[in-house]
Structure 1
């Protein structure tokens, strides 16, 4: 039996040679046996090849084990089944190509599971999700999800019956080519469900790339509370970032280029700052309205209350900020220090109630029904894909009001005491994510 690995630092201090990984196994039966024997710190490796999984590959009651393909993408698992977890913790599944039909699930009895550098291109039937997370502290990083043409979600974050999965971290993944043509049920990421909207998930979704995410109007659909969605790039996609249910989510530093729309929100106390929406064919930011107030479990639309929408740049859209018209209009929201440029009615909303508008800069279209004291109409002199301001732009040091919740800008650099209007505090270097920055080949951080 292979010995448990000693940490590398201890090996060096003791002057010992590191214990080598066992030779790659070459069948699924041998893989199952190796997993069953594996001890904490060991790495079980499957040789390159195509392997048909007629029954589940079980990872049961394991801790501190890595199960990996010998080369990233070199071992393909196809057939009716795939890996299953049961009462496991701190297990990493790394480098596989999954083309089987079964959903890969992390159940509530497993935690600290990592799915890293895999390719998901499942052959599942309509309505099935590809990855489902019910356990706590799951990390999903540097994977590719591609080629889904049916209803169902690439990545569903759910949880036990008593609440949401906690602290899921989704980063450096590549979601693309979801071509389901229906109107609902084809999100790239679904974070919660309507019945769990009151539960805190504390998930972080960051630094992911979405391209041609056309399975649903929602590329990232948040239906839980207390999450962070930041620094993602969404390009040429029907899908938007939607805070569909839940409260207190922060949407920050996302870049949305082309596509059908930008950001849409319902619920209370969200913070939506430092985002760029450029070239959308639809609305840049949609302020939702409600069929209910302070919803807790229904599938209705919860009226937005006390949402901060500030220091965003919305450009190249017919309508930069739009509203809806349901029974209950949004209440006590703040729309401030945004750069809004376009060709049509830049602000189109009729259900304002106790809103505060201040410091916005509008250019290129008609102001619409934004209150006259809430904006200046002046050329912001922004350019480039991220609509950065020129050295002589009137947005520099021109913000109005105090916003301690906005310390950084689009690039993550600290803003001055007198902040620039819009997403960019002049001087940053960030660029949109490309396929080289995400997926199995992405560099380690």
Structure 2
């Protein structure tokens, strides 16, 4: 009998450990109370309703086959609103998914040295933000994002989300510092729309997606992010709809329509921009840095489709507020209904005296280094006044 009992007890323990549990919570306190119990495969359901003033750190650790899922009882019927002066959902674990939540008319504030943030992935790996809606949220401080991926995690994902009519904010930020650089972030199949011009006096801080924040000193950091199959419609927040400020990122199969801004390689190197579609609006693709591949994009009804910029410096070793576009490949792009298809040498001799901190950024102030060693071939132009212009 004793010989039979031991295997049975072991089997019961394994069976119990492998069974996922579902918890339904209706308050921040209930959510926090069940966190110590969570094991791989568990599901935390937030009951339908409207909530405010939550602040959660979620350290849960699932596995690839058994992620921990935090979701709305019904997608779209769990709504967070009101003032936010800290992080509402901060994920700090592994293989955890946050899904189906709506953030509507939240006001994000700066208070006590902290910023209001709706969702942050901090040092997470293989975590996911899925099928969430961010609608008509307002930030009250410049350069404040709704969603942040930060720390030294890897393989996090933002997909299937909607960002609509948010005000004065950045939508999704991959945060890169001297000590941290998230790796292999995937931003895919999201919709960004109806983003009005920011109210900030310098017109900055309204990007839909920003990967890196300091292109002058940290642009060589390699984030290896992928931004793929997203839609940007009437995104007018600022001149940079997408702002790339780090290296080895890929921008693939995105769709831009009637946006007052561009897909911008503000800093960084060795990025891929491929199979994107631009329909109308004020800008297409803008290039600084070295080693980029710009290929198989379709750009229609934009005054200047692709711009290669002058810089104050060149290459990956020199410090410059802007780095001249160089050693990039621009090939097989289809450009139609443009005034200028490809402009090689924009912002020639622009003088930045007094416009940036030359102590923090030890850079020359004249933008007088011309683009060089770029390979431009196989592009097609239709109904375009000037196919390629060199300045």
The answer to whether structure 1 residue 85 and structure 2 residue 86 are counterparts is no
Determine the C-alpha separation between the residues in 2 that align with 1:49 and 1:86: 22
The count of aligned residue pairs is 333
| Distance apart, 1:279 and its partner CA | 1.0
Equivalent in the alignment of 1:33: 33
Unaligned runs of 5+ residues in structure 2 are 1-14, 109-115, 350-367
**Unaligned stretches of 5+ in structure 1?**
1-14, 351-445
Instruction: Give me the whole-angstrom Cα distance separating, in 2, the residues matched to 1:223 and 1:19.
Output: 44
Contact 1:36–1:59 (Cα < 8 Å) also in 2? no
1:9 corresponding residue in structure 2:
none
Q: CA offset at residue 38 of structure 1?
A: 1.7
Match for residue 251 of structure 1 among 268, 273, 282: 273
Contact 1:168 1:202 in 2 (8 A): yes
Bigger strand fraction:
2
Does the CA contact (< 8 Å) of 2:338 and 2:384 recur in 1? yes
2:197 to 153, 156, 180: 180
Find the counterpart in structure 2 of residue 328 from structure 1.
Answer: 369
**Stretches (4+) displaced over 6 A:** none
User: Separation in 2 of the partners of 1:87 and 1:190?
Assistant: 21
For 1:131, which of 119, 129, 147 is the aligned residue?
Answer: 147
Q: 1:329 to 1:299 in 2, by over 3 A?
A: closer
Output the CA distance in 1 between the equivalents of 2:102 and 2:320.
35
Question: Residue 125 of structure 2 aligns with which residue?
Answer: 111
1:86-235 equivalences in 2 (<5 Å)? 87-99=92-104, 100=106, 101=108, 102-121=116-135, 122-127=137-142, 128-134=144-150, 135-150=153-168, 152-181=169-198, 183-193=203-213, 194=215, 195-235=217-257
**Alignment CA distance shift 1:34-1:124 (3 Å):** farther
| Deviation per residue, 1:118-161 (Å, 9 max, x gap) | 011333223221111113221000001121221x3111111353
The alpha carbon displacement at 1:208 in A equals 0.3
Following the alignment from structure 1 to structure 2, what is the Cα–Cα distance between the partners of residues 330 and 126?
36
Task: Go from structure 1 to structure 2 and tell me whether the alpha carbon gap of 1:91 and 1:25 turns closer, same or farther (over 3 Å shift).
Answer: same
Residues 59, 83 of structure 1: 8 Å contact kept: no
Corresponding residue number in structure 1 for 2:71: 68
Instruction: Note closer, same or farther for the CA distance 1:209–1:37 as it changes in structure 2 (3 Å cut).
Output: same
Cα offset for 1:290? Answer: 1.0
Corresponding residue SS for 2:335: strand
Q: TM-score of the superposition, structure 2-length normalised? A: 0.79
Structure-1 residue corresponding to 2:382? 341
**TM-score, length basis structure 1:** 0.70
Distance in 2 (CA, whole Å) between partners of 1:20 and 1:225 is 40
**Distance of 1:251 and 1:304 partners within structure 2:** 14
Query: CA-to-partner distance for each residue in 1:214-259, whole Å, 9 max, x for gaps?
Result: 0011111111111110000011101211111111101000001011
Question: Any conservation in 1 of the 2:279–2:300 contact (CA below 8 Å)?
Answer: yes
Residues 297, 45 of structure 1: alpha-carbon distance in 2 compared, 3 angstrom cutoff: farther
Q: What is the deviation of 1:348?
A: 2.2
Structure 2 SS opposite 1:287: strand
2:304 aligned counterpart, secondary structure? coil
